[in-house]
Amino acid sequence: MAQIDAELTFRAFDEKDFEPLAGLVGRTWLADFPVAAQRAAGRVELSHYLAQATWSLLAEREGELLGAVLLVERDSEPIPGAWLALEERLAAEAEKDPELAEAIRVEMSGVEEEAELEREYAATGAPGTAATIKLLIVSPDAKGLGIGGRLFSAAVERVRKTGAPGYHLLTDDACDVGFYEHKGLSCAMRRRSRAYWPGADPATDDFHVYVYEQEL
């Protein structure tokens, strides 16, 4: 059931939310690319995350999507939908356009590097491996509304209620890691990035990816 607070509504993801959420992902993380390339990469990345996600919460105001969080819980069923097949189809279609294909390559290279680091973290068996906050995103139009904090807190509460011993997330130097430290997480792993990130050259820039964790 949706929760309503003033003008804000919080509810679970629905398939009709795919395009607006993919657009938000593209605008947020590929701002230097043309709109069509942003959307193409956002759709592929979102499909990739949805194929793993087991729980979701979206924030909207008067029908406008303002933020979302996706959670992956160990031994839980993913959100219904043929998301992996969609990811593969969208990536294949984008290969016909070099500009779209480049945007996807750039974005997914970072996603793949984070996945590699996450696999190393999973092998440790730490309490935080029980769940992953896979996506936390807030529209620039929603700054100052506290949406990011509320989505994050809702995801943590969900993990707590399942009885999981902890959770983790992947992040990088482009994000405000101080937000997570303020929420009580600590850095479990740190690696100098070998991927190409917009605005950072792996050959010359000191750019890092991280695993942050919290035991519950």
- Residue-averaged pLDDT of the chain: 92
The CATH number assigned to the domain holding 149 equals 3.40.630.30
**Residue percentage of the chain with pLDDT more than 70:** 94
The range of the structural domain enclosing residue 29 comes to 3-215
Q: How far is CA 76 from the centre of its chain?
A: 18
Q: How far apart (Å, rounded) are the C-alpha atoms in residues 135 and 114? A: 12
Q: pLDDT tens across 108-158, in order?
A: 999 999 999 999 999 999 999 999 999 999 998 888 889 999 999 999 999
End-to-end, the C-alpha distance of the chain in Å comes to: 26
**Domain count within the chain:** 1
Q: pLDDT tens across 161-214, in order?
A: 999 999 999 999 888 888 999 999 999 999 998 887 666 666 677 889 999 999
Orientation of helix 98-122 relative to helix 83-94, angle to 10°: 140
What pTM was estimated for this model as a whole?
0.93
> Interior CA angle at 161 toward 76 and 149, to 5°?
100
Q: pLDDT tens across 80-113, in order?
A: 999 999 999 999 999 999 999 999 999 999 999 9
H or E element, residue 209? strand 208-215
